[in-house]
């Protein structure tokens, strides 16, 4: 028996063995519809806004995380004086970022501490400080022409909602 005959014998034997294991009439069936993606059906609940801020006298931009719906005083993580700020992201408790549509809905404001002269007058207490949104870009707190001008005052609180 030469090599070719041996090869043919093995092929016919394997055809018989595998032919029994695999049905001859195999038809394809469509896949069942997939289940809806539960990740997209669950609403995103943002808990923090991330702001890029530049402190007075510092050229480097720093990122701070502000809890939503809370007023936060300045301290080790939040500068007492700012040159500028912009809203860059939102995240939830799992530190996942929010869709851009939600980022556009968030607004923040930086409240200045009243100067001694202003504490006496009632006009400063009644003043409503402007909010800013992501679409406003980088807002400036040290430019007199800016709506968000803080007149070189310290910050009393940060707030985003």
The structure tokens 């406003």 sit at: 136
pLDDT the model gives residue 160: 97
**C-alpha span between 102 and 44 (Å, rounded):** 9
**C-alpha span between 30 and 95 (Å, rounded):** 39
Residue numbers of the chain with a pLDDT score lower than 50: 38, 40-41
Instruction: Report DSSP state, residue 97.
Output: B
User: pTM for this one?
Assistant: 0.67
Reported in sequence order, the residue ranges of 32-119 that DSSP labels E, i.e. its strands, are 48-55, 62-67, 70-72, 82-91, 107-112
Count CB neighbours of 55 within 10 A. Answer: 17
pLDDT digit string, tens, across residues 64-84: 999 999 999 999 999 999 999
Instruction: List the alpha helices (DSSP H) in the chain.
Output: 3-21, 38-41, 100-103, 116-120, 123-126
Q: Where are the domains of the chain?
A: 44-160
């Amino acid at each position: 028996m030469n090599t070719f005959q041996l090869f043919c014998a093995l092929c016919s034997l394997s055809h018989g063995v595998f032919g029994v294991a695999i049905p001859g009439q195999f038809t394809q069936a469509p896949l069942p519809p997939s289940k809806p993606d539960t990740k997209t059906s669950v609403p995103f609940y943002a808990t923090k806004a991330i702001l890029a801020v530049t402190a007075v006298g510092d050229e480097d931009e720093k990122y701070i995380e502000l809890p939503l719906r809370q007023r936060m005083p300045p301290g080790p993580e939040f500068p007492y004086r700012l040159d500028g700020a912009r809203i860059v992201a939102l995240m939830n408790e799992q530190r996942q970022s929010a869709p851009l549509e939600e980022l556009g809905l968030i607004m923040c404001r930086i409240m200045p501490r009243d100067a001694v002269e202003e504490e006496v007058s009632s006009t400063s207490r009644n003043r409503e400080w402007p909010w800013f949104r992501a679409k406003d870009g980088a807002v400036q707190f040290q430019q007199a022409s800016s709506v968000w001008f803080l007149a070189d005052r310290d910050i009393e609180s940060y707030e985003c909602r």
